[in-house]
Structure 1
Amino acid sequence: MKLLLVCSAGMSTSILVNKMQQAAAENDVTAEIHAIAESDLQQHVEGSDVVLIGPQIRYLEKNIRQTVEPFGVKCDVMDQSAFGMMRGDQILEQARQLMK
């Protein structure tokens, strides 16, 4: 499963990536997870399975969905509480639910 975490600059989500990778390893989930800036999404979306949008840029959800839909990529805004608490396990589970 290839996941992209999208935020305004790709910085706030980089901490979350590490926590998600740890949760994936603990649960035997194979996941490639990257944090990127919204401005870089077009270059990275192809081949991805899920795009999760940082709550701070939820106002860009419509544009992001239009970018990822032609590639068949699932998309959602990250749970704000899980993001704020840096709960990588919960965000990983959110992505896994989108894959179903």
Structure 2
Amino acid sequence: MRILVVCGAGASSTFVAQRVRRAASERGLPYAAVAGTTSSLEIDLDSADLVLVGPHLAGQREHIERTAAAHGAAVVVLPDDVFTDLTGERTLDLVVAAVGPAAIVPDTPAER
């Protein structure tokens, strides 16, 4: 599962992506999370299965959803308090809820 965390400039998304990666690793989930910006969205979507959108970009949700759908990626707008989730656990719970348990499979054949 490849997760793209999007914010306006990339700073806050970097923190969220790091926390989600750490939480996923601690749970043994083969999730990769990277940070991106709205201006790099088109390029970053080529390698994303799920897009987590910073709460301050909720007004751009429809545009982001249309763009992501063209690449086969789902979109979740993060809650206003996402930046207080210092462990990434609550954010990872949102990811798991969005993709469902069937998506919790290893990314590479060697891990399967």
Q: In 1, are the aligned partners of 2:16 and 2:83 still within 8 Å (CA)?
A: no
Aligned to 1:86: 85
Report the Cα distance in structure 2 between the residues aligned to 1:17 and 1:76, rounded to whole angstroms: 14
Structure 1 Cα separation of the partners of residues 22 and 44 of structure 2: 22
The alpha carbon displacement at 1:61 in A equals: 0.6
Q: CA deviation at 1:47?
A: 3.4
Look up the SS of the partner of 1:33 in the other structure.
Answer: strand
Q: Is the 8 A contact 1:8 1:37 kept in 2?
A: yes
Q: Which runs of 5+ in 2 are unaligned?
A: 101-112
Q: Deviations over 1:38-89 (max 9, x none)?
A: 11010010231100100011111111011011222110101222x1303411
* 1:73 counterpart residue number: 73
- Per the TM alignment, residue 98 of structure 1 is displaced from its structure 2 partner at its CA by 1.2
Q: What's 2:7 paired with?
A: 7
Partner Cα distance (2:83, 2:33) in 1: 18
Deviating 4+ runs (over 2 angstroms): none
TM-score by length of 2: 0.82
Counting matched residue pairs gives 99
- Greater shift after overlay, 6-15 or 83-92? 83-92
The CA RMSD measured in Å over matched residues stands at: 1.2
- 2-side partners of 1:36 and 1:86: how far apart? 19
TM-score, structure 1 normalization: 0.91
Corresponding position of 1:31: 31
**Bigger radius of gyration:** 2
1:95 CA drift (Å):
1.2
Per-residue deviation at 1:11? 0.7
